[in-house]
Amino acid sequence: MKPSTLFTKRMWGLDQRVLWTLALTAGSALAFILLKWLLVMPCQGVVIQVNDQDPNKQNYLYANTPIRFSVAGAQQTDRITWLFGDHSKKVSGNPMLHYFREEGDYTVTAILSGGCELHIDVHIRHQLTLDNLGSNDQLQDGNPINGMDQPKAGEVASFFCAVAADAYEWTVPEDPAIAVGTSNLFQPVFLSPGLYTVQLKLNNDPKKVFRKQVSVQAGSPAGASGMELPATGPAPAQLAPVSPNLPPPSALPAAEEEENAEAAPAPAKREPLIVADEELKYQLDQIRDKKKSILDLKDYFCDGYETNVKVQSEGKVINLQQLCDKLQGKTGLLGLGGRPKVKSVRSTRDPESHCIVVLYVDTK
């Protein structure tokens, strides 16, 4: 009988074809690792910020509260895709608002259009309520004011309220010229460096007043941030600014001031907040269940309460206020049909400001 040659070529006790298979497998694995390293490179000169600051400086991040993620140093042409580690869908934009549903530890990933990736870890605490906040200056579980510790002068700062309330009143006692905020989002512009207090009163209750100290840093030179301080003439010696953020009174005659009024710079344009459609659907569900109010939504829309909403299941066009009223009302004979449910949400946005122009809602 002729001996078989199937396993005659051996090395180190193994058939040579087995060795070749092992070598090819190892080579393929190394090539895959090298290719992944080349395609997913660490980003240079860019960082993820949380609420416009270093994520390590964030004291409290809460579930069911808008958290603003952004990539600082990215080019305007960069497309940034976000993964939040909570089984939510990929979304694109910069900056991006996100709501975590449950407390816990999450890894947030930002993928830039060039292929590089950024990662940060965030710890989300349970949602605050008015009941577990405690009294005015005896906070049992953190301050509900969530936002920037060191904003820059002349640039828009952002602060969020971490609890749902029926009424919000934001003020800056050191500068009464800053307009009062009345939603869960407050975006003041501090014109001068210094120490300020961001104060929040909830439900018009003097026992529910909370404060956050911020240190405003010197911003870019006038004009660099898109905002210029108005030019003024020399102030009379006996006059002084009412507020540290207000320029001295002008010494120009009234007629000359009117001539120069057209040259006054426009107010600083707020940076848009981008909210994914799935987040809007969640917010509408919260309004339906009366856990939130329209105040939590209106700042995302170009026309606020009057923004057009197309209810696709009914073929009607109503405004945002009417939609919220509809979601909280009951349907059917004697209201036995229960409240309508939101099946899907799709938004049309302004190409420049990214605020929502029209909202398409399908209900059931």
Q: Which residues are 275's β-sheet partners?
A: 97
What pLDDT does residue 41 have?
58
Tell me the C-alpha to C-alpha distance, in Å, between residue 302 and each of 40, 124, 307. Answer: 37, 30, 7
Average pLDDT over residues 48-64: 80
Residues 6+ apart with CB under 8 A from 349: 355, 356, 357
Q: What are the tens digits of pLDDT across the range 123-158?
A: 888 766 776 665 554 444 467 887 778 888 888 888
Q: Which of 356, 347, 354 is nearest to 307 (CA)?
A: 356
What pLDDT does residue 309 have?
87
Q: Which of 211, 166, 250, 214 is nearest to 51 (CA)?
A: 214
Range of weakest confidence among 22-26, 99-103, 224-228, 355-359: 224-228
Q: Percent of the chain at pLDDT above 90?
A: 15
Average pLDDT over residues 319-341: 76
- The mean pLDDT of the chain is 75
Rounded to 10 degrees, what is the CA torsion of 298, 304, 307, 309?
10
Q: Which of 91, 49, 95 is nearest to 76 (CA)?
A: 95
What pLDDT does residue 305 have?
77
Q: At what angle do helices 277-288 and 320-328 cross, to 10 degrees?
A: 50
Q: Label residues 143-165 b or e (16+ Cβ within 10 Å = b).
A: bbbbbbeebbbbbbbbbbbbbbb
Rounded to 10 degrees, what is the CA torsion of 133, 136, 142, 148?
130
Give the Cα separation of 148 and 358 in Å (integer): 31
Residue 80 has pLDDT above 60, yes or no: yes
Q: Which of 349, 356, 362, 282 is nearest to 323 (CA)?
A: 362
Residue 220 binned pLDDT confidence (cut-offs 50, 70, 90): low
Q: What does pTM read for this prediction?
A: 0.46
Range of weakest confidence among 102-106, 205-209, 219-223, 292-296: 219-223
Q: What is residue 119's three-state secondary structure?
A: strand
What pLDDT does residue 12 have?
62
What pLDDT does residue 256 have?
45
Residue 269 has pLDDT above 50, yes or no: no
Residue 179 has pLDDT above 60, yes or no: yes
- The string of DSSP codes covering 167-207 is -EEEE-TT-TTSPPB-SSEE--B--S-EEEEEEEEETT-TT
Residue 19 binned pLDDT confidence (cut-offs 50, 70, 90): confident
Q: Which of 321, 326, 310 is nearest to 362 (CA)?
A: 310
What pLDDT does residue 302 have?
83
Q: Which residues are 348's β-sheet partners?
A: 358
Give the Cα separation of 193 and 176 in Å (integer): 16
What pLDDT does residue 178 have?
92
What pLDDT does residue 3 have?
52
